[in-house]
Amino acid sequence: MKSFQRRRGSRAIVVGSGIIGLCCANALSRRGWGVTILSDRQPGGASPAAGGILGPSVESGSGWAHDFGTRARDRYPDLLDDLDDRTGIRVPLLRNGILEVALSAEGARRLEGEAPAGSHWLTPDDLRELEPALSHASGALHHPDDGAVDNVRLLEARLSALNAEPSVELKYVRVTELLRAEAATIAVRSAHAVHEGDVLVLAAGAWAPLISGLPREIPVTPVRGQMLSLAAHPLAHVTYGPLGYLVPRGSTTVLGTTMEHTGFDLTTTESGIAGIMSASQSLCPALRVAPEVARWSGFRPMTPDHLPIIGRDPELPSLVYACGHSRNGILFAPITGEIVASIASGDDPKAELLPLSISRFERNPL
């Protein structure tokens, strides 16, 4: 693969204005790049639809993936302080831990036996004292430092900060084709224009595979997640149960979620919402009388191994992938932005990114 070094006055094209694309644009801008964000604002984007969970202990598996997720989570306090300084928008952050609740004696034995390092078991009495609304449960794992961020407010703040950057422009267009690419230049086509840059960052979420002319297949599939919010706030912690999760957000609770392979069908269904309600009410009975505030759905960009695709294309160094973040787009966004900016500027963290390379999906990876 040919090497790539940033040239003075370089411009990056970022395809996608979800939280991944915005964090990539921010990190690139801070390294002195000019940045053009191209976005067609498709309904169903994962970033505004998410629960905002920052939970490497429950969402990122173990080993390398857990460590990567923990590093990503721990960037959030500084990131939100920076956004507050730049925009005056304070984004709510919960870092009092996630509760992974057992609803049976068998579930309690399993969870207690699987406690990762740094997490600890709460007996039913411990849990009752911490969260009275969970007094019926058989105990819980407490994962300290995990939690959630208000992802809707986060998007607002990140977009506000970028709008104030003279080096960043946002164009609402749909990218349809990778038009021309060389070792260190690249161009894409939208309906009425050609957009040229030194680097293209593909951060288009579930829509990334739909761009024609890419050098290889992008193994990302849209997976619909239906969500619900209720006008009640019985819990202080993000809470996971066997079939769903609950996220306190202001005076409401966000309930999630389904995992449905329905293509780009954004419909919310009575059966899907009923399943979320049933799982949530078994987890927290106090929600049975809470009125509904809203229901919605979004498309998670899922890869076969549920890990993101981050890094250069093996044959086309001007193309950098930042897609396929599956259930962890909000969690991984800040660290993804930092890595992408580092790659684009010629400082490839190759060993660190090996597990995330698109080459892992090929029969004979490079």
CATH code of the domain covering residue 351: 3.50.50.60
**Does residue 64 fall inside a structural domain?**
no
- Residues 176, 235, single domain; the answer is no
Q: Which domain holds residue 334?
A: 11-49+153-219+305-361
Count up the domains in the chain and report the number.
2
**Does residue 79 fall inside a structural domain?**
no
Per-residue pLDDT band for 220 (boundaries 50, 70, 90) equals very high
**Does residue 85 fall inside a structural domain?**
no
CATH code of the domain covering residue 290: 3.30.9.10
pTM: 0.94
Once rounded to an integer, what is the mean pLDDT over residues 130-136? 97
Q: CB–CB of 144/121 below 8 Å?
A: no
Per-residue pLDDT band for 1 (boundaries 50, 70, 90) equals very low
- Residues 297, 316, single domain; the answer is no
Per-residue pLDDT band for 347 (boundaries 50, 70, 90) equals confident
- Residues 239, 249, single domain; the answer is yes
- Give the pLDDT confidence score for residue 154 in this predicted structure: 98
- Residues 254, 230, single domain; the answer is yes
**Does residue 121 fall inside a structural domain?**
yes
- Residues 139, 259, single domain; the answer is yes
Residue 225 β-bridge partners: 298
Q: Which of 302, 327, 344 is the last residue of a domain?
A: 302
Q: CB–CB of 200/186 below 8 Å?
A: yes
Q: Which of 259, 287, 302 is the last residue of a domain?
A: 302
Backbone angles phi, psi at 55, to 5 degrees: -135, 70
**Spatial separation of the C-alpha atoms in residues 46 and 20, rounded to whole Å:** 10
Q: CB–CB of 186/53 below 8 Å?
A: no
Per-residue pLDDT band for 286 (boundaries 50, 70, 90) equals very high
- Residues 104, 215, single domain; the answer is no
**Does residue 226 fall inside a structural domain?**
yes
Number of H helices, E strands in the chain: 11, 20
- Give the pLDDT confidence score for residue 7 in this predicted structure: 52
- Residues 352, 233, single domain; the answer is no
Q: CB–CB of 40/174 below 8 Å?
A: yes
- Give the pLDDT confidence score for residue 66 in this predicted structure: 86
**Does residue 189 fall inside a structural domain?**
yes
- Residues 295, 231, single domain; the answer is yes
Check residue 139 and report its DSSP letter: -
Q: CB–CB of 139/123 below 8 Å?
A: yes
- Residues 202, 212, single domain; the answer is yes
Over residues 86-125, the pLDDT tens digits come to 999 999 999 999 999 999 999 999 999 888 888 999 999 9
- Give the pLDDT confidence score for residue 351 in this predicted structure: 59
- Residues 292, 164, single domain; the answer is no
Once rounded to an integer, what is the mean pLDDT over residues 276-296? 97
Q: What is the DSSP string of 308-362?
A: -EEEE-SS-TTEEEEE--GGGHHHHHHHHHHHHHHHHTT---HHHHGGG-GGGGS
- Give the pLDDT confidence score for residue 107 in this predicted structure: 95
Residue 245 has pLDDT above 70, yes or no: yes
Q: Which of 276, 302, 328 is the last residue of a domain?
A: 302
Per-residue pLDDT band for 192 (boundaries 50, 70, 90) equals confident
Residue type, 100: E
Residue 4 has pLDDT above 90, yes or no: no
CB atoms within 10 A of CB 56: 27
Residue 292 β-bridge partners: 230
**Does residue 59 fall inside a structural domain?**
no
**Does residue 327 fall inside a structural domain?**
yes
- Residues 194, 260, single domain; the answer is no
- Residues 136, 20, single domain; the answer is no
Per mean pLDDT, which range of 162-176, 177-191, 257-271 is the poorest? 177-191
